[in-house]
């Protein structure tokens, strides 16, 4: 049987590319000289797609692929995929949850500590030769702080478990109370922001959370407030955050994600109490390899007739394909 035709929107790590090329007839959108001609030619044959957060899958693209059965996304967030349009067609969408939770949680803790204790700033201070002439200024502390987690999902829980070891108070806000945790639940984000002085953002992106961390939330955190975002840049009103940092309405911020990645607002670069990372939350060799393998495994499982391994909640509960990858 002929291998299924698979569309790859952006290149992935070599091991994943090799596995996909070995199991499917691979079509790369990123190397197509004429995208319109490319989709006219191969669009009617495509049954699977592999993609990541940097390559949006909108309704227009989905409509170009009448035989599409499954979209396998690299990453836990899938707000760049129009899952509604996919569900209307009975198309399965998968992501790569769990396998990156610990890595992102580790990074989140590192980013929080780096922001509170100004670790990158102190490093630059030493490298610039200032230490022999004067000691580095005293910093803020994590001692006695109250951390509020926006989004107590897999990653949020992993962060909370790590924070327990630091002896800080913990609260959370999400769509519902979770009865199996002892952390304080706040029914609104504003209520939680008033109660805490560290806001750890781990909620999904999408229309419901777009700009949810706005000027009102930042003001509620207060002048000792710290914002750490390892979720999606879209959750934060970036102009409001820049103004809050400039004015001293909050103390500092640690950001791994931005609204228009890879572009970063230039105003952030001139702020001292900000730690900026280029979206590296899951960016270890080991974790990215496991994530890539889960993309491949979801596709292989689907075309072997076993159904998807890690479907997103919005995915229709339709029967798995009876086709074969090879």
Which position among 45, 162, 194, 261 bears the catalytic label? 261
Domain assignment present for 198: yes
Same-domain check for residues 66 and 212:
no
Q: Do 132 and 267 sit in the same domain of this protein? A: yes
Residue 26 lies in a domain: yes
- Residue 252: φ, ψ to 5°: -170, 180
Contact between 91 and 97 (Cβ < 8 Å): no
Residue 322 has pLDDT above 60, yes or no: no
| 176 in active site | no
Q: Is 157 designated active site? A: no
Of the chain, the percentage scoring pLDDT greater than 70 comes to: 97
Instruction: Note the pLDDT tens digit of each residue in 194-239.
Output: 999 999 999 999 899 999 999 999 999 999 999 999 999 999 999 9
Q: Are 105 and 113 in contact (CB under 8 A)?
A: no
Evaluate whether 196 touches 168 at the Cβ level (below 8 Å): no
Q: Which residue has the tokens 């001139």?
A: 270
Q: Is residue 182 part of a domain?
A: yes
Domain-located, residue 321: no
pLDDT confidence band for 324 (50 / 70 / 90): very low
Q: In angstroms, rounded to a whole number, what is the distance separating the alpha carbons of residues 292 and 290?
A: 5
* Rounded Cα distance, 58 and 60, in Å: 5
pLDDT score of 173 more than 60: yes
Q: Active-site residue among 27, 157, 173, 232?
A: 232
Q: Is the domain of 140 the same as that of 229?
A: yes
Q: Is 232 a catalytic residue?
A: yes
In a domain, 219, yes or no: yes
Q: What is the mean pLDDT of residues 288-307?
A: 96
Residue 319 domain flag = no
**115: in domain:** yes
CA dihedral of residues 75, 76, 80, 86 (deg, nearest 10): 100
Q: What is the 3-state secondary structure (H, E, C) of the chain?
A: CCCCEEEECCCCCHHHHHHHHHHCEEEEHHHCCCHHHHHHHHHHHEEEEEEECCCCECHHHHHCCCCCCEEEEECCCCCCECHHHHHHCCCEEECCCCCCHHHHHHHHHHHHHHHHHCHHHHHHHHHCCCCCCCCCCCCCCCCCCEEEEECCCHHHHHHHHHHHCCCCEEEEECCCCCCCCCCEECCCHHHHHHHCCEEEECCCCCHHHCCCECHHHHHHHCCCCEEEECCCHHHECHHHHHHHHHHCCCCEEEECCCCECCECCHHHHCCCCEEECCCCCCCCHHHHHHHHHHHHHHHHHHHCCCCCCCECCCCCCCCCCCCCCC
Q: Are residues 186 and 69 in the same domain?
A: no
pLDDT, residue 317, reads: 61
Residue 222 and residue 164 in one domain: yes
CATH number where 180 lies = 3.40.50.720
* pLDDT level of residue 318 (50, 70, 90 thresholds): very low
320 lies in a domain? no
The parent domain of residue 200 ranges over: 101-276
Residue 323's pLDDT is 46
The single residue of 45, 89, 194, 279 carrying the catalytic annotation is: 279
* Whole-prediction pTM: 0.89
Tokens 């495994």, located at residue: 297
């Amino acid at each position: 049987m002929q291998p299924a035709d698979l569309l790859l929107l952006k290149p992935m790590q070599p091991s994943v590319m090799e596995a996909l090329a070995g199991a499917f007839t691979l079509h790369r959108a990123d190397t197509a000289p004429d995208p319109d001609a490319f989709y006219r030619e191969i669009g009617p044959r495509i049954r699977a797609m592999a993609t990541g957060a940097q390559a949006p899958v909108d309704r227009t693209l989905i409509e170009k692929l009448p035989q599409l059965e499954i979209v396998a996304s690299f990453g836990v967030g899938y707000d760049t995929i129009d899952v509604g349009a996919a569900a209307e067609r009975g198309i399965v969408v998968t992501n790569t949850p769990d396998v990156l939770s610990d890595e992102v949680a580790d990074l989140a803790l590192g980013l929080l500590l780096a922001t509170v204790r100004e670790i990158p700033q102190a490093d630059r201070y030493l490298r610039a030769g200032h230490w022999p002439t004067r000691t580095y200024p005293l910093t803020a502390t994590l001692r006695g702080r109250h951390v509020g987690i926006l989004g107590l999902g897999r990653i949020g829980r992993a962060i909370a478990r790590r924070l327990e070891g630091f002896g800080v108070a913990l609260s959370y806000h999400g769509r519902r109370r979770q009865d199996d945790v002892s952390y304080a639940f706040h029914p609104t984000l504003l209520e939680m922001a008033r109660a805490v002085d560290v806001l750890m953002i781990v909620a999904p992106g999408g229309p419901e959370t777009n700009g949810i961390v706005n000027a009102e939330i930042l003001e509620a955190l207060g002048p000792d407030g710290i914002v750490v975002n390892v979720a999606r840049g879209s959750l934060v009103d970036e102009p409001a955050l820049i103004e809050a940092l400039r004015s001293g309405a909050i103390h500092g911020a640690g950001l791994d994600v931005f609204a228009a990645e890879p572009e970063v607002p230039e105003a952030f670069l001139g702020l001292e109490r900000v730690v900026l990372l280029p979206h590296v939350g899951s960016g270890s060799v080991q974790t990215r390899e496991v994530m890539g393998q889960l993309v491949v495994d979801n596709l292989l499982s689907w075309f072997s007739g076993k159904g998807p391994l890690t479907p997103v909640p919005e995915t229709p509960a339709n029967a798995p394909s009876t086709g074969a990858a090879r």
